Structure 1
Amino acid sequence: MKTKLGVLVVVSVFITTGLLLVALKTSTELRFITVFSIIATLLITQFFAHGLTAPLDEMNRVAKGISHGDYTRRVLGADRRDELGDLATTINLMADDLEAVDRHRKELVANVSHELRTPIAALRAVLENVVDGVSAADPETMRTALTQTERLGRLVETLLDLARLDNGVVPLRAHRFEVWPYLSGVLKEANLADAHRKLASGSGRHTRTDVHLHLDVSPPDLTAYADTERLHQVVANLIDNAVKHSPPHGRVTVLARRGPQPESLDLEILDEGPGIPEQERHRVFERFNRGEVAFPHGKGSDGGTGLGLAIARWAVDLHGGRIGVAESTRGCRIRVTLPGIPVRRQLT
């Protein structure tokens, strides 16, 4: 744009100078030369101005459409090699992001509605049977109601984690802890939750109690330095993902090793499922990615809202660590590396 404005000034000066030279040689009156010079300058200015303002008008229309919720419109002329082309590209990228966010929002509402409907319907059925006298309020019936209530609680906790993720910085309450008893507790909680779920769903169906959870910590007195609450989110979500894609009577192994730094920790979660295609490995930790491509016959990467693995990555990033899908000859292998000293980071 600076170049075009500079050309406009130079051309206008040349035209005026040329007309003045013509006037001196032909004895033309100065007033006619002035009029011709002004008209020529205005015509050239109008030509350049149209090339500058037309894209701005289009950008204005697209921006107004975006402000009213129309994320499908795009600015033409993004291939221009000037500031207006850069601005058009930026607006189109913004529209793409907003369209993706709007689509994810709708997917989240649909997914959460679906996830809420099932336990609420089951809980209502149990309570109605108790009230109507069809079922007695015995421990087994109450255990079924408790299982559905816990499922609702897990969904609400997932949504709270998403809110924390969006809010940016979350303070870490890191401390030194023994890895073996800590991970043993996490696996025990997973087994208890699976037992409750099996009672609620009935026998004869493949549930997570069919999957054997194995813990391997070396050395046995291994210690680490991390926020145990956030680490619980990581391990629980990864185990949840692994067992959902394991075959009946399969095996999920949690490996814990000492990292390269003092109090650092290397974790691996291995399953015997179908694994994740290499071209999909970079997407499994994205929000709302339910893994329809990677797991076309399953429930998705986390079988629910598509937030479990995204929350796991968020918790690992909060520590300044790394998480990813590692090579494996069978099933899926998720590797987590936590540094010895956690780093507070501003997540976006």
Structure 2
Amino acid sequence: MSPSGAERPPRRAPEVVAKAVSRVPDVRPLDRVTSIRTKLGVLVALTVTFASFVTWVGLRNELGPTRTLPLAIVLSLLLTQVLARGMTSPLREMTRAARAMADGDYSRRVRATSRDEVGQLAGAFNQMSADLEASDRVRRELVANVSHELRTPIAGLHAQLENMVDGVTAPSPAVLQTSLAQTERLSRLVTYLLDLSRLEAGAAELNLETVPVGDFLEEAAESVSLLEASKQLHYVVDVSPPDLALEADPARLHQVVTNLLHNAIRYSPPGGTVRIEAYGPPSGDHVLIDVADEGPGIAPEDRERIFNRFQRGSAPSGAAPSTGGTGIGLAIVRWAVELHGGTVEVVDDPGGARMRLALPRAHAASGHRAV
């Protein structure tokens, strides 16, 4: 009886076994063997050889069969336990890691040192864990970025509407224009998220038409200049030759150009110039479209990374840190450009940042095309 008067429960056998097993050293001398079947064969051969050796030593020292055989069996079982524990350790580690994943911890990894099927499974498990950890990190970044991007225009729009309702601010054209700009910003973010879902699904449609490049770029520049008038930027459209045309989906191409223009506007200094240039070499089968700004530029180490989802470039030395941006727009640009069979890249420009699109003049099949 315990001091409290209650009978102490007996120690359960599984707990004793588990503790005894946990004290067995985790050694893996068979890791170099490349097949689990070969390992089992080696294990059986070692166990039989060891038991025979112990039996021979016992009989040679005149211990007698009654002592030699039990000793050989016990020692063989211990050897089997040590070797088998090393063979199955990755499986136990995977079990613990899987339980941790169920609780949201994707940082666990398995010691994958063996070369057999269990080692290959452990390597695949580690890769899956890394992918899940990256996906979880992307999901968290998406929630944080979208929450930040939604909060800013919603707060501004709420304050403006509240002031107009309370009579503090008159509904003047300037106030309504500001409210419209905030609404457009919300609409643009929702469009980004819808396009991101299409990107994740890996499917989209192209409605191919012949697009006159000059008129198209003029319309795109005019549409963003009306919405982003606070910086008083100048837009220069230069197309050579003037009748340049290509075969593309106008809606997707407008999305690409406006995303690049919004990116240029974000980093342009007040009163700066945004240039949209298009040219088609006579002997080439691609049309090149450049969108250039007079901002701080893009660091060479960031020029590939910024086209990945939820990635934004670091501020160059001496430049103010970036404010705004979800890290989605340029990923959607690359996706839409690749749907057309083209490429997008950052090219050197001493005056700022320059994005270059290379789009095919014509496609093998015109009209509606499923990709």
The equivalent of 1:213 in structure 2 is: 235
Other structure's SS at 2:295 match = coil
Instruction: Tell me the residue number matched to 1:103.
Output: 137
- 2:261 corresponds to 1:226: no
Give yes or no for the alignment of 1:272 onto 2:294.
yes
Judged with a 3 Å threshold, the aligned counterparts in structure 2 of structure 1 residues 313 and 49 are, in CA distance, closer, same or farther, namely same
Partner of 1:58 in structure 2? 93
State yes or no: 1:284 paired with 2:318. no
Distance verdict in 2 for CA 1:48–1:124, change over 3 Å = same
Task: State the match for 1:329 in structure 2.
Answer: 350
CA RMSD, 1 decimal: 3.5
Distance 1:279-1:342 versus aligned 2 partners, 3 A rule:
farther
Q: Quote the residue 2:19 is aligned against.
A: none
- Given that 1:4 and 1:48 are in contact with CA atoms closer than 8 Å, whether structure 2 keeps it comes out as no
Preserved CA contact (<8 Å) 1:119 1:149? yes
Matches within 5 A, 1:24-173: 42-75=77-110, 77-173=111-207
- Return the alpha-carbon distance in structure 2 between the equivalents of residues 245 and 279 of structure 1: 18
Gaps of 5+ in 1: 23-28, 199-206
Q: Does 1:247 align with 2:281?
A: no
Does the CA-based 8 Å contact 1:174-1:342 persist in structure 2?
A: no
* Distance change >3 Å, CA 272–CA 143, structure 1 → 2: closer
Q: With structure 1 as the length reference, what TM-score do the two structures score? A: 0.80
Task: Report the more deviating stretch, 143-152 or 8-17.
Answer: 8-17
Give the distance between the partners of 1:215 and 1:184, measured in 2 at CA: 7
Amino acid in the other structure paired with 2:264: A
Q: TM-score, normalised on structure 2?
A: 0.76
The structure 2 residue matched to 1:299, chosen from 316, 322, 336, is 322
Any idea what SS the aligned residue of 1:172 has? strand
| Change over 3 Å in CA distance of 1:52–1:283 after alignment to 2 | same
> Is 1:320–1:342's contact at 8 Å kept on the other side of the alignment?
no
Q: 1:313 to 1:342 in 2, by over 3 A?
A: farther
Seq. identity, % = 48
Number of equivalences: 331
Unaligned runs of 5+ in 2: 1-34, 58-63
Quote the offset at 1:90 in angstroms.
3.0
Q: Decide whether the 8 Å contact of 2:306 with 2:327 is kept in 1.
A: no
How far the C-alpha of 1:81 sits from its partner, in A, is: 4.1
Aligned residue number for residue 5 of structure 2: none
Q: In structure 2, what residue type is equivalent to 1:102?
A: D
Work out whether residues 298 and 313 of structure 2, in 8 Å CA contact, stay in contact via their aligned partners in 1.
no
1:314 maps to 2:348: no
Asked if 2 retains the 8 angstrom alpha-carbon contact of 1:253 and 1:271, the reply is yes
- Indicate conservation of the 8 Å contact 2:289/2:357, yes or no: yes
Verify: 1:5 aligned to 2:40, yes or no. Answer: yes
Q: 1:241 to 1:79 in 2, by over 3 A?
A: farther
1:158–1:307 contact (8 Å) kept in structure 2: yes
Which residue matches 1:202?
Answer: none
Deviations 1:207-227 (A, max 9, x none): 2x2x32222211111111111
Cα gap change, 1:82 to 1:333, in 2 (>3 Å): farther
Of structures 1 and 2, the larger Rg is shown by 2
The answer on whether the counterparts of 1:225 and 1:263 sit within 8 Å (CA) in structure 2 is no
